[in-house]
Structure 1
Amino acid sequence: MTRPTPLFRPLALAAATLMIFPLAAQAGPLVIESWRVDDKTLWEEEIIPAFQRKHPGVTVKFAPTAPTEYDSSLTARMTAGTAGDLVACRAFDVSLNLYKKGQLEKLDGKPGLENFPDSAKVAWQTDDGRETYCMPMASVIHGFFYNKKIFNELKLAPPATQQDFFKVLEALKASGKYTPLALGTADQWEAHQVVYTGIGPNHWKGEEGRKALLNGKKKFTDPEFVSVWESMAKWTPYLGKGASSQTYADSQNLFALGRAAIFPAGSWDIAYFRQQGKLDFAAFPPPVTAPGARCHISDHTDIGMGVNAKSKNKEDAYKFLAWLGSQEFADLYTNRVTGFFSLSNHLVAVKDPVAKQMMDWRKSCSSTIRLNAQVMNRGEPNMETEFWNVDSQVLNGKMTPKQAAERMQAGFAKWYAPQK
């Protein structure tokens, strides 16, 4: 090969410089991994443009994976080094396992994190609480939706206590016109994640009872846990015919069509029922066990965001994380992803009336997370799977509350040292 003449050498160097320096200055677009497929348009048309107005030089791509495939496909891509720069984080163990493998960055001290209370961070921290690996984003709240037209017709008021709750159910049943509770057990998950962990905190005093199970001071066979199954067993006469074969989608449809009066709900369902158009509904929190008792709500940490340890664009990734901790993002996400509530300390003016009702429960009720979300799903038998089965059988009238408690306690004690 001939050497370039002096005349052409500067041109060759200039070309080489142009080839090298843009790559150094531009690390490529930020890619966000997520399971929120339904939010893709929102991210592309509203959330990302809002961020780019603050950081016009940063290109961002939202690349979601179907929820049922997200965990396994993300793990594979993280291992292969092909995952995006930012990673939507499941609460607790799924994300903790990624962090333990060195696949997520430690975030302590990073801008934005200071805007979240300790209770919001726990879902994305090591068991000792010393290291945080995902920025909290949003939670979902559990309660009950009710058809306002039906309640007005039958002159019913939203119940405040469990005694009131069953009086309302009995009145609905006596009318003979409506299914009192839009709830089935075919899918099983809602029997636990919506019902047991939704009404339960009022029985076991929220975080106090949850932590007592973790440190071995309480057992599932103690009265405050058994009483939840006892309450659920009383629901059976108020479910629709064929409840054991009724899916979650069936229950949604039953309530949306005005054929059922009450829907045990998660706040994520607000958007679904808004799409149905004419349904006039409101919400009430899980009824307390007795008049004047302190109320507790399942205000469950749902989604966070972490930085891929192998990201080639960490500088921009941290800019995006800092923005996730801002007032602007809290307002935007809470009001555009209806039913998902910012976990930050920022005051948010919630526009949807039902979402506002549910978020306002935080002012008068103590928040807790789903009972078995932390630590309890690590052994065999898997507590989440056990709960789905047991809670469904109680609602179906196939298992007594005492049997449910004994089975859950026996399974937990098999592998969890503080319970042995």
Structure 2
Amino acid sequence: MKRTVKVSLVATLCAALLLAAGCGGAPSQPANQGGSNQPSGSQSPVSGSEAGGEKQVEIFSWWTGAGEAAGLEGLIKLFTEKHPDIEVINAAVAGGAGTNAKAVLASRMSGGNPPDTFQVHAGHELLDTWVAADKMEPLNFLYESEGWYDVFPKQLVEMMSKDGNVYSVAVNIHRGNVMFYNKKVFDENNLTPPTTFDEFFTVAEALKAKGITPLALGDKEPWTALHLFESVLLGVIGPEKYNGLFDGSVSWDDPGVREALETFKRMLQYVNDDHAARNWQDASQLVAQGKAAMNVMGDWAKGYFTTDLNLKGNVDFGWAPSWNTEGTFMVISDTFGLPKGIQHREATIEFLKVLGSREGQDVFNPLKGSIPARTDADVSKYDDYSKEAMQDWSTNELTPSIAHGSAASPGFSEKITQVITVFVTTGNVDQAVADLVAAAGAELK
């Protein structure tokens, strides 16, 4: 069955994001609309503001934490070395693991004041929102001139493309289905890190008997519970059926979905009691401190462990694919595009060239904790975790993330988030299945 997604107006998205984030961003001066209708295969003349000497590029993101902020600053430093005449405005917005930034972005985009370029996840977060609303320029001309079709994986390019046009440049790849664990806790208790669900529950019982929280969770921000659930779902039904849930070929009342909810419900018996008061960093700290043994989180947690907490991989903490997902890589990719109507189009194009370059990605990703989207990176610049992830990225079957915008439209993802948030409290499997089926029925046809 072919999948089509109902597209909401940008104004509707803006209102939803503002409500969810509890903050807004009023537009400042209207943007210069020059250069917004250039064909995808050519570059326009320099806009008036750039020709007049005001050479700037505003980079909008939610990268304010230690590792991610360091990565962005490293990228900016490289860009300014190459383009000392262009001023870089770092317009990062903190808070809510990106929720606050997305709310501000929605307000600016709907108000006619787009940033020159902004962070957006590859997949439906990009395509069903800004591309569907005709807010982005195609970047085919850059992929051709920079040779990017040869160095970015085809499947990743497809996640950023619609109707033959590619709309953003991927700067990194994160893996969502990772189980991090405290090596000392496992060594001292003569336990082996689990790779299957059966092994997890056996190990969890042993840890619980010793007064150690088996699994850390911090779902003060609801996306983290969904992040855990989507890894469980992938582990139960496998990548083919998981992908089928989003193209309409697999129903959300499939027995595997019910089994995943039952497994998730059982797993929640082994998380920290104060999970609703903690965020993902707090949960990671529990693992770092040995108060909890394991945590399922995207591999930005590796950057948090090493940059913020000064831990050493394979010494203080270890990692493995989340249970039953060996051979599958859940993809999360941060990308940047070229909005229509921006003031500094030519300067932004130069920034995108640096962002997509091998040099740029090898500066950014070792600091961020992610791996490069390009396939020709200098492997010597990366740590043990990243080298393993790069190998898996090139050989594993790929699946998209619900929690991070690549698997489903923003509206569908929000509905699934709400279902899982309620489920964490109630544990009502029948209701959760019914609500997931209803959500799919409203978004897929």
TM-score when normalising by structure 1: 0.79
* 1:5 alignment counterpart: none
Determine which of 49, 57, 67 is the counterpart of 2:77. 49
Distance in 2 between the 1:214 and 1:132 partners?
Answer: 21
- The answer on whether the counterparts of 1:145 and 1:265 sit within 8 Å (CA) in structure 2 is yes
Q: Give the C-alpha shift of residue 86 in structure 1.
A: 2.5
Q: Give the C-alpha shift of residue 145 in structure 1.
A: 0.7
Distance in 2 between the 1:313 and 1:370 partners?
Answer: 32
- The answer on whether the counterparts of 2:219 and 2:276 sit within 8 Å (CA) in structure 1 is yes
Q: Give the C-alpha shift of residue 238 in structure 1.
A: 1.7
1:304-315 to 2 correspondence within 5 Å?
Answer: 304-315=335-346
Q: Give the C-alpha shift of residue 369 in structure 1.
A: 1.0
From the superposition, tell whether residues 359 and 374 of structure 1 become closer, same or farther in structure 2 (CA, over 3 Å): closer
- The answer on whether the counterparts of 1:285 and 1:358 sit within 8 Å (CA) in structure 2 is no
* 1:177 alignment counterpart: 211
Tell me the percent identity: 24
**1:124-180: CA deviation from partner (whole Å, max 9, x where unpaired):** 323x5x222111222321211110001111112222322222222222123x13111
Distance in 1 between the 2:284 and 2:395 partners?
Answer: 28
1:12-411 to 2 correspondence within 5 Å?
Answer: 24=51, 26-38=53-65, 39-40=68-69, 42-44=71-73, 46-66=74-94, 67-96=98-127, 97-110=129-142, 111-112=145-146, 113-114=148-149, 115-126=151-162, 128=163, 130-142=164-176, 143-174=178-209, 176-193=210-227, 195-206=228-239, 208-243=240-275, 247-274=279-306, 275-277=308-310, 280-288=316-324, 295-301=327-333, 303-338=334-369, 340-349=370-379, 351-363=382-394, 365-371=396-402, 373=405, 376-377=408-409, 382-396=411-425, 398-411=426-439
Amino acid at match of 1:410: A
Q: Give the C-alpha shift of residue 395 in structure 1.
A: 4.5
Distance in 2 between the 1:220 and 1:400 partners?
Answer: 16
Amino acid at match of 2:320: F
Q: Give the C-alpha shift of residue 393 in structure 1.
A: 4.8
Structure 1 unmatched runs, 5+ = 1-20
Q: Give the C-alpha shift of residue 281 in structure 1.
A: 0.6
Secondary structure, in 3 states, of the residue corresponding to 1:32?
Answer: strand
Distance in 1 between the 2:401 and 2:165 partners?
Answer: 22
Distance in 2 between the 1:218 and 1:404 partners?
Answer: 17
1:412 matched to 2:440? yes
TM-score when normalising by structure 2: 0.75
**1:180-233: CA deviation from partner (whole Å, max 9, x where unpaired):** 11125444321112x122232233332x32442233221111123222212212
Secondary structure, in 3 states, of the residue corresponding to 2:261?
Answer: helix
Cα RMSD, aligned residues only: 3.0
Amino acid at match of 1:107: L
* 1:12 alignment counterpart: none
From the superposition, tell whether residues 70 and 160 of structure 1 become closer, same or farther in structure 2 (CA, over 3 Å): closer
Secondary structure, in 3 states, of the residue corresponding to 1:262?
Answer: strand
Larger radius of gyration between Structure 1 and Structure 2: 1
Q: When the two structures are aligned, how many residues end up with a matched partner?
A: 381
From the superposition, tell whether residues 23 and 89 of structure 1 become closer, same or farther in structure 2 (CA, over 3 Å): closer
Distance in 2 between the 1:235 and 1:319 partners?
Answer: 48
Structure 2 unmatched runs, 5+ = 1-47
Distance in 1 between the 2:221 and 2:89 partners?
Answer: 34
Secondary structure, in 3 states, of the residue corresponding to 2:194?
Answer: coil
Secondary structure, in 3 states, of the residue corresponding to 2:332?
Answer: strand
